[in-house]
Amino acid sequence: MSSDEEEPKDPATLYGIRTNAKRHHTRLANGLMALMDGEKGTEKVSVALAVLQEAYDEVVRVNARYMEVVKDKAQEAEAWEEEIATRYQGCRESAEKYLKKVKDSNKDHSAAKRRRLELEYERQQAKIAEQRRLEDLDEPAEPNFNPKLSSTTFEPMNGSWPQIAITPFNGDPRTWTEFELTFTALFHNTRMPEAMKLLALRENLEPEVRRRLAHLFVATADYKSTCEALKERYGNRQIIIHAHVQKLLSLQPFKAGDLKALVNMAALVKDAATNTHLEESQVYSHVVTQLAKLLPNELYREWGRHAYSLLPRIPGLVEFDKWIEGVVGAEELMGAVTSRSSSENSDTDSGNDGN
């Protein structure tokens, strides 16, 4: 009914509408209880509870209209409504307890499934370790390599072998390629079950990265789709190049003689240039312009002369990488020569003092 004018005012008619509303509410309440008894699932129970609430609201509305028309029976109508309210509240509480119980049960199931995977992984690792140990005994001339799952170090079976380290991925796309290569060699290209590989992948992420990507390691996750999601997020080539460029643009100017800052710039440029195709290098010529401005005056002028010699070609990251690599080499060589010359002069002076 859209308005009071459309509501019937006849007590007998209102009484009939009220009775039908109660019957409808009773049928829905019985249906809700049957769903819970039959364990039909949370979705059906949630829908049935919402429908029951609408039916109860209709009972309250119709009864209020009835009491307006039949004022002398207000007390009786209130008792009638209270009885229905008691039934409604009982059904609602039962449904809410049922939904909470199912939710908690699902959490316990997920935790149990993850624990089973962890135990299975430990069993597989112990089995592999024992197999490798027996192979070492049978063929001592062919040492075997048996990495153990750890986010930092893999202990070899034979003490004579060096430790194998894998650096946990820290979320920086610039380090993704190195991490992917190492993880592929140690885990991906093995016969380890995919559920175990998924655990190994999760354990080799930094805690903060693991927290951000928790949705990729839920109980229903699979190894292949998780790998694809990680690669799409961090291994996309354009994302990696962008991360390199942003790192270069964050560098600060440095003074002449600051070899540490020069070497740091050269290393970052080398990383960026390695991930850039030659034809793409010129696209980042603006980055080179910004880097040149960070150089000491003497090196800035030296780069200007070198860039001029390359005209009409615009120098990009690859050209700047080759140039600054030569500058670092020269600085290191001159430093070594200067140090050696100073040492020789000091020895000569000491000899002259002795004479």
Q: Is the pLDDT of residue 148 over 70?
A: no
* Res 228: pLDDT: 92
Q: Which residue has the tokens 């240039």?
A: 273
Report the distance separating Cα 74 and Cα 60, nearest Å. 13
Label residue 163 by pLDDT band (50, 70, 90).
low
105-122 pLDDT tens trace: 766 566 666 666 666 667
* Res 140: pLDDT: 47
Q: pLDDT higher for 341 or 188?
A: 188
* Res 10: pLDDT: 83
* Res 282: pLDDT: 60
17-64 pLDDT tens trace: 989 999 999 999 998 888 888 776 788 888 888 889 999 999 999 889
Q: Which residues pair with 205 in a beta bridge?
A: 169
- Which of 34-38, 100-104, 152-156, 304-308 shows the lowest per-residue confidence on average (mean pLDDT)? 152-156
Label residue 293 by pLDDT band (50, 70, 90).
very high
DSSP string, 27-71: HHHHHHHHHHHTT--HHHHHHHHHHHHHHHHHHHHHHHHHHHH-G
248-289 pLDDT tens trace: 999 999 998 898 999 999 999 998 888 776 555 566 788 899
* Res 2: pLDDT: 42
* Res 355: pLDDT: 46
Report the distance separating Cα 102 and Cα 108, nearest Å. 10
The one-character DSSP state at 314 is P
Angle of the 194-203 helix axis to the 223-234 helix axis, nearest 10: 40
Q: Is the pLDDT of residue 323 over 90?
A: yes
Those residues with Cβ within 8 angstroms of residue 227's Cβ, 6 or more apart along the chain or in another chain: 188, 201
Q: Is the pLDDT of residue 160 over 60?
A: no
* Res 168: pLDDT: 93
Q: What percent of the chain has pLDDT over 90?
A: 29
Q: Which residues pair with 153 in a beta bridge?
A: 165
Q: Is the pLDDT of residue 146 over 50?
A: no
186-234 pLDDT tens trace: 888 888 888 888 888 999 999 999 999 988 888 888 899 999 999 999 9
Report the distance separating Cα 340 and Cα 287, nearest Å. 37
Which of 107, 88, 101 lies closest to 36 in space, CA to CA? 101
- Which of 124-133, 240-249, 334-343 shows the lowest per-residue confidence on average (mean pLDDT)? 334-343
Report the distance separating Cα 301 and Cα 309, nearest Å. 13
Question: What is the average pLDDT score of the chain?
Answer: 79
